[in-house]
Amino acid sequence: MIRKYKESDYNVINILGRELSPNFKFEKNENNDCFVYIEKDDVIGFITYQILSDYSEVLDIFVHINHRNKNIGTQLLDSCIDDLKNKNVNKVTLEVKTTNVSAINLYKKNQFKIVSIRKKYYENNTIDAYLMVRELW
């Protein structure tokens, strides 16, 4: 089940997020939002995003390793996109490691296009990132 995050989810989102990055911290403010995927009363995945005027940036998407390849990432992304359309957001951007083939395929399957490369963007300036964009309207 997917739903908007609640205050009670905040700590578990940050704990799970540390698997993405040791310094992960979901910032709660009026521009950031989050959906969580719940299974058996446990948060097993989330998507965080930021709305900046008429566009949005997906900040992080995470599914616990024991629950991957079950279409959860797609469902989280769909929920985010639906929310952004309801808020009249025109486009969504994100960065993804050029080495993260499964994530790139997920985004391409969901109509994101690579528009540029950000050189040495990740991990101590050693891994490039693709900037990907999806137009919503």
For 2, list phi and psi in degrees, rounded to 5.
-110, 140
- Which structure tokens are listed for 104? 């790139």
Q: 18: helix, coil or strand?
A: coil
Structure tokens at 116: 């540029």
Looking at residue 54, its pLDDT comes to: 86
What's the fold here for domain 2-135? Aminopeptidase (3.40.630)
Give domain limits for the chain.
2-135
H-type helices in the chain, by residue range?
A: 10-17, 72-86, 101-109
pLDDT digit string, tens, across residues 25-67: 998 889 999 999 999 999 999 999 999 988 999 999 999 999 9
The per-residue pLDDT of the chain, averaged, comes to 95
- DSSP label at residue 125: T
